[in-house]
Amino acid sequence: MTHADESEEELVSQLVYSSAATEPFDEAQLIELLRLARRKNARLGVTGMLLYHAGTFVQMLEGDEEVVESLFARIEEDPRHDETRVLLRRSDVPRTFGEWTMGFVQATREMIATIDGLNDFLRARAGVSDEDLSSASSQDDGDRALKILEQFRAGRWRREIQGDRG
């Protein structure tokens, strides 16, 4: 997006979710997942960010609401994902990750220790019951996840990000 485009900022729907991998993903599997997601997202006008650590995914999808919801429905049905939880849904908000069809971070233990809120967030996501999801804490999780993903976008850990430019 150029400075001239900022006055006509595109408003999109955003969905942030977490899930547990049914089997840990190795590097080759993550690369293939990203390759396919980036190609599909470019075609559909979807952008976002994916964080992966020790079998946990946190992802933001953003774009047209119907497209985002359809993609998320497919993720929920994907046998590689379990314990899928919506952390945040927002509509009519400016695109956050417009430069990436899917930015990606494979977080290391050392990185997690330095990212405000990430260690607590990942620890808190383990073993969350369905009853807890309807509580106010689920909104806190959504806000925290959004802030964490935005911190990656802002570049504090830019060297750790494997992004593409659409």
CATH number of the domain residue 34 falls in: 3.30.70.100
Q: What's the pTM?
A: 0.70
Q: Could you tell me if residue 166 is inside a domain?
A: no
For each of the chain's 166 residues, which pLDDT tens digit applies? 444 444 467 899 999 998 999 999 988 999 899 899 999 999 999 999 888 888 888 889 999 999 999 999 999 999 999 989 898 899 999 998 888 788 777 766 665 555 555 555 555 544 444 444 334 345 566 676 666 666 655 554 444 444 444 4
Q: Could you tell me if residue 78 is inside a domain?
A: yes
CA distance 109 to 27: 16
Identity of the residue numbered 69: E
Q: Could you tell me if residue 22 is inside a domain?
A: yes
Angle, CA of 116, 99 and 88, to the nearest 5°? 50
Q: Could you tell me if residue 117 is inside a domain?
A: yes
In the prediction, which pLDDT does 107 show?
Answer: 66
The range of the structural domain enclosing residue 30 comes to: 3-160
Q: Could you tell me if residue 143 is inside a domain?
A: yes
146, two tokens: 């959004």
Q: Could you tell me if residue 165 is inside a domain?
A: no
Q: What is the number of domains present in the chain?
A: 1
Q: Could you tell me if residue 51 is inside a domain?
A: yes
Helix, strand, or coil (residue 36): helix
Angle, CA of 166, 143 and 55, to the nearest 5°? 65
